[in-house]
A and B are shown apart, each in its own frame.
Chain A
């Protein structure tokens, strides 16, 4: 059974800092990995999707990397802004809709 862990559970940084969020998974046989952002009491917004054959994906100030062999993904946020404050979740797709496992998330606070 796939297990997804996100570290740290919470993170507080001053505005302008670069930061890294971590996601680890126990079964390296994955189809893809997706990073989401969730604002309080809201749904999930897709940020980046990395296919199992890819090493990284970039969108603006966000860069996600994937190392399947070690069961790790990182989300790098450059020049953080207060608007980046949210919970960031990673979801690992092990093959099919019933095999998507979510982490609990990292709650990020960017202090002005």
Chain B
């Protein structure tokens, strides 16, 4: 299994500002994933963060809005830029240790006012 720590767990942000979410895993993993869960919705994959290369973004998500860093095999950050109320969501970091089971962090609950 994997232990995934996310910071912050929740935050209230002003419109137009940016916030960086950190994700730390207790073991080395090749790929880390970032998901968004908007209120009342299911999870949507934002991007895949690979160590040593640019993140791969899913349709509808762009690097300028959601820049991602992956400096090593246990850590990643997701920045939500120029936030608007529509960005109010839970942002979740996840890993797939064995190509089989998905593990999630506790999530970062952002409210944009």
Name the one of A44, A49, A103, A105 contacting B104, with C-beta atoms under 8 angstroms: A44
A residues less than 8 Å from B24 (CB atoms): none
**Chain B contact residues, majority secondary structure:** strand
Taking residues whose C-beta sits less than 8 angstroms from the other chain, chain B's interface range is: 20 to 34
In the complex, A27 Cα to B16 Cα: how many Å? 41
Query: In whole Å, how far is A97's beta carbon from the nearest beta carbon of chain B?
Result: 6
Query: In whole Å, how far is B23's beta carbon from the nearest beta carbon of chain A?
Result: 11
Stretch of A35-43, A64-72, A78-86 at the chain-chain interface: A35-43
B residues less than 8 Å from A104 (CB atoms): 40-42
A-B contact count (CB 8 A): 54
A residues less than 8 Å from B105 (CB atoms): 43
A102 on the interface (CB 8 Å rule)?
yes
- Whether A97 pairs with B31 at a CB distance below 8 angstroms is yes
Name the one of A42, A91, A103 contacting B106, with C-beta atoms under 8 angstroms: A42
A25-59 contacts to B, CB under 8 A, are: 32, 34, 36, 41-46, 49, 51
- Whether B96 pairs with A97 at a CB distance below 8 angstroms is yes
- Whether A41 pairs with B90 at a CB distance below 8 angstroms is yes
Beyond A32-B100, A34-B102, A97-B48, whether A43 also contacts B92 by CB under 8 A is yes
A89 on the interface (CB 8 Å rule)?
yes
B residues less than 8 Å from A100 (CB atoms): 45, 102
Closest residue of chain B to A32 (Cβ to Cβ) is B100
Closest residue of chain A to B40 (Cβ to Cβ) is A104
Closest residue of chain A to B91 (Cβ to Cβ) is A43
Beyond A98-B58, A102-B42, whether A46 also contacts B102 by CB under 8 A is yes
Binding site for A on B (CB under 8 A): 4, 6, 10, 31, 33, 40-43, 45, 48, 58, 90, 92, 96, 100-107, 109
